[in-house]
Amino acid sequence: MRDWLVAGAVVESPDGLLLVQNRRRDGRVDWSPPGGVVDEGETVLGGLTREVREETGLSVTDWSESIYEITADAPGMGWNLRVVVHQALAWHGDLTVDDPDGIVVDAQYVAADCCGDHLSGSPTWVRDPLGAWLAERWVERRAFRYLVEGTSFGDLRVLAVP
């Protein structure tokens, strides 16, 4: 089993919520908040700050405590995912896409009421927690857990685990 630790960013401006468009290795395209894998030796916030800068050109200088955490276990695909999400409280810079991994191909601020359309093709474990946060705007950390059944992205069945 491969264990992934990922950090995600909620960056909200008067223009909306910052989302990035990802082109996956298998050709799929989806939208998500900026963020990515925390490298060995990095803290979650250190990795998150690096990922946001790489994917969007923005330098975040202040983060909230974690607002939600996601775990998704996919035994059929051989991975476990843990995502820790923080809200950016202060940042500067111009929005530019220059992802060294070549995954992020676009970034834009999206009005909160339009985020659902952008996220419709995203995995359940990305779409549902973010949608819930947008609806409620809680500040104390919440946890979301998913079991991912199947052996490829084409045949996944995602179940929320209480």
Task: Give the CATH number for residue 90.
Answer: 3.90.79.10
Task: Give residue 33's identity as a one-letter amino acid code.
Answer: P
pLDDT tens profile 108-162: 999 999 999 999 999 999 999 999 999 999 989 999 999 999 998 888 999 999 9
pLDDT of residue 103: 94
* C-alpha span between 102 and 87 (Å, rounded): 24
pTM of the model: 0.95
pLDDT of residue 6: 98
Nearest by Cα to 130 from 51, 73, 138: 138
Reply yes or no on whether the pLDDT at 25 is more than 90: no
The residue behind tokens 């946890």 is 143
**106's tokens:** 């676009």
Sheet holding 142-149, edge to edge: 35-37, 2-10, 79-92, 59-74, 142-149, 157-160
pLDDT tens profile 82-96: 999 999 999 999 999
* C-alpha span between 10 and 31 (Å, rounded): 13
Percent of the chain whose predicted confidence (pLDDT) is above 70 = 100
pLDDT of residue 83: 98
Instruction: Specify the number of domains making up the chain.
Output: 1
**Domain, as residue range, for 146:** 2-160
